[in-house]
Structure 1
Amino acid sequence: MRMFGTKRAAHGSLRTKGKIKMEQATTIQTLIKPHVDLAMAHQFRLELVHPHTQQRMTPAQREEFLTLAFAEIAKGMGIDRFMQTPAERLDQFAVMSVMKNHDTAGLLRSLVNSFMIAYACPETSERAFAALVQIEGLRAEVADSKGQGQMTNKPELQIAARELEAILGASAGPNHTQKTPLFKVLVGADRIFVKSGYPLKDVPKVFMGFAVEPIVGHSM
């Protein structure tokens, strides 16, 4: 009797877990739908095509793809962070991960877990932070390509970036112009980036309380 009762309890537990998973899936589907609808209303830079016909996805196919992909992203980054992320960023991340044949949710989990593990280890902490700064620098470059290189919700950071740009511009002389810049001053989340084709002199490590990071060896 006890064994039979144990089996019944086990089956009941499995049913309960299954029900919880279904409810969680339904909740995620409901939460991500506004982002899916918003993405569906736009056509962004990257888009998937049929591997054989090379034709664009139909609206129904794209909606199905975005629903599945956004659910994976929400699992990878957490629903709270997902809700704060623009639909375009979610869409383009999902498309790129498929184009590169990468694990959509796994990329995000690895980004967080790998950084935490490496950062928490004294032997790799500095390199882990440097890698994070490098990614932030790439983000600043992407923003600059859209004409948003100095956009930030931190007025003090924006002021510091413009002040540094003026100082470096005065030092660079007449060869540095708006049409042919020798460098660009960009902003990250909490630091300033100076992008140039070669190392610049007199670039401070800290300016007006903000860290300054060089991005060297890239064309303007």
Structure 2
Amino acid sequence: MAEESFVAVVTGANRGIGLEVVHQLARRGMRVILGSRDLARGEAAARSLTHDKGSIFPYQLDVADQHSIDQLLKEVTANFGRLDVLVNNAGILYDTWENGITADLATVHTALETNLFGAWRMCQTFLPLLRQSNNGRIVNVSSEGGSLASMGGGTPAYSVSKASLNALTRILAAELAGSGILVNAICPGWVATDMGGAGGRPVQEGAAGIVWAATLPNNGPTGGFFRDKQPVPW
């Protein structure tokens, strides 16, 4: 089936990496739902893009709010009738000021609500639609900050939430094996965004690996952790 008929949802997509993922998927011809906590900002972000083939549709979405997710499911089902790609991009709290031994656990809880449970809620809620696709793809936008192999001190909320997201990726990939749904975690690298700060790689490069995972062929990998199409140690 041609990508031009595909429908994708990208969470946290009104700026940064998420917005660029929306842009690149639309350039490939997909109909892309731009999820944004603030609908007005999402609408403004959609207007800022140029796209040759596909279409971009801004919708209100707060992944920390199950009611918001349920409402989006109703709208996607009614307006599109399908979902082929879910990109769990929404992420918060790169807590460089915290240490694990003194961390404010309320901050950690807040990070987990979006970075882990937000993605988990989205997967559970939209899985019935994804199962109907012959090309279902789930992409969890993670970080090497969640890699146990290289993890050290600092950024406890962010690091623990991303390590947990990686674990969720493995679990879902195993449970969905044989369903046609591929599930992978992607580290976009250090990208020059509001969260990443100045000095990082261009946002287009960071988004490219996410788009790669969102458009894998049916014999592509699942249950992996990648950056620039190459495996990252768990």
Which interval holds the TM-score relative to the shorter structure?
under 0.3
Which protein shows a greater Rg? 1
Higher RCO (C-alpha 8 Å, min separation 6): 2
Q: More helix per residue: 1 or 2? A: 1
TM-score normalised by L of structure 1: 0.24
